[in-house]
Amino acid sequence: MAEVKLIAEGMSLVDSGPLHATIMASKEGHPLSEVALQGGEYALKVLEEVASFLPVVKKKSSTLPADNSSYPRVVAEMISASKIVNDPDFTPLAAVAGTTADIVADHLMQSGASKIVVNNGGDIAIRLKGGEKVKVGLRLSLATSRLRYAITVEKDCGICTSGLGGRSFTLGIADSVIAMATRASVADASATYLGNSTSIESPSVKRELAESIYPETDIPGKMVTTSVGALTDDEIQAALQKGKESARALIDRGIIQGALIAIKGEVLSLGSFEDNLQLL
């Protein structure tokens, strides 16, 4: 059952099946509770649009036409964002959470708010005006809610997380991969791509066919990671190196601004994360 409720001044929670998001709105330090609630209601409408186009968004993005103007904005941006990393196996669902956050955040900036933060299960869209800034906590493992680091953001962007134990499947072994981009839609697709890139073969890595876990998956035939046991230092470094090379390529192409990769306690930061990490 869909639910939108206020959980703090200026912050709402929207909970409906795959959508579990918090929406924060303020203007010059003053919380805007009504705007936050409106954001929750709007998020439910966006979710309905995605659901009505499920047969489309489960197709391989590479097979969808370049002209997606006939689709609702959320579906069109999902398609565009999932194509940008150039993974032939991606479907638009690789960007669904970040795109939803973007669309809601864009909508709420019309309300006069100077700070909007839409956190859709760890995929975050940030909109700022008038010199506002926000501190975003970073999870180094999706298996725990503990925040180890934070980053201060002073401009519009998206910060999204993927990895083992998240809401979506991963082909890699990273505990957490975080990507920052101008849009959360692109950061979402990029985080998924980078998480997949940390794949290595090891007796400690267990995998199963995606459809054996979730029959309605959009990636049937793919062996997804289900658990990662103890790894050797060489295995950890090999996975980190693969992630680093993929992240550097996305940064060089201007697709993302930075990335953070965490595997078994080892943390690698690139781009915008390198000089901005704050230990909590």
Task: Look at the alpha carbons of 121, 197, 244, 141 in this order and tell me if their dihedral is positive or negative.
Answer: positive
Please tell me the predicted confidence (pLDDT) of residue 167: 77
pLDDT in tens, the chain (280 residues): 788 999 999 999 999 887 899 999 999 999 999 999 999 999 999 999 999 999 999 999 999 988 888 999 999 999 999 999 999 999 999 999 999 999 999 999 999 999 999 999 999 999 999 999 999 999 999 888 888 899 999 999 999 999 998 778 999 999 999 999 999 999 999 999 999 999 999 999 999 999 999 999 999 999 999 999 999 999 999 999 999 999 999 999 999 999 999 999 999 999 999 988 998 8
Please tell me the predicted confidence (pLDDT) of residue 280: 86
Cα distances from 158 to residues 18, 30, 75, 90, 106, in angstroms, run: 19, 23, 18, 19, 12
Please tell me the predicted confidence (pLDDT) of residue 50: 96
Please tell me the predicted confidence (pLDDT) of residue 166: 78
Q: Are 81 and 158 in contact (CB under 8 A)?
A: no
CB atoms within 10 A of CB 280: 11
Please tell me the predicted confidence (pLDDT) of residue 146: 83
Please tell me the predicted confidence (pLDDT) of residue 275: 84
Question: What residue segments make up the domains of the chain, in order of their start?
Answer: 3-279
Please tell me the predicted confidence (pLDDT) of residue 68: 85
Q: Are strands 205-209 and 176-181 parallel, antiparallel or unpaired?
A: unpaired
pTM of the shown model: 0.95
- Highest CATH level, class, for 3-279: alpha beta
**Position of tokens 């991606």?**
90
